[in-house]
Amino acid sequence: MANLTIAVDDELLRRARVRAVGQGTSVNAILREELERYAGDGAGDRAADAFLRIARASTASSGPGGRSWTRDELYAERSDRRG
């Protein structure tokens, strides 16, 4: 495993350490996780892109003119279901 040296403001590092301790972790672990996310394989981005392509290509609709609900209608329907 490689070591990495970075330069950060002393106060910034102090606040990061305090927050990390409060979360039961370390600044080192947080930075490692962020680097893994940053350099990751992009699977999440690809999945989101695929979903958007499918959604945009969909011809599904809620009928002519669409459907809209008012807050009162939704509340009444929910109240009716509860009995």
Domain extent listing, the chain: 8-55
Structure confidence at residue 18 (pLDDT) = 97
Going by C-alpha positions, the residue among 39, 42, 10 that lies closest to residue 27 is 10
* 61: phi then psi, degrees, rounded to nearest 5: -150, 175
Show pLDDT as tens, one digit a residue, over the chain (83 residues).
Answer: 899 999 999 999 999 999 999 999 999 999 999 998 888 888 888 899 999 999 999 988 777 777 777 888 888 878 877 76
pLDDT tens per residue across span 26-44: 999 999 999 988 888 888 8
Tokens of 1: 């495993």
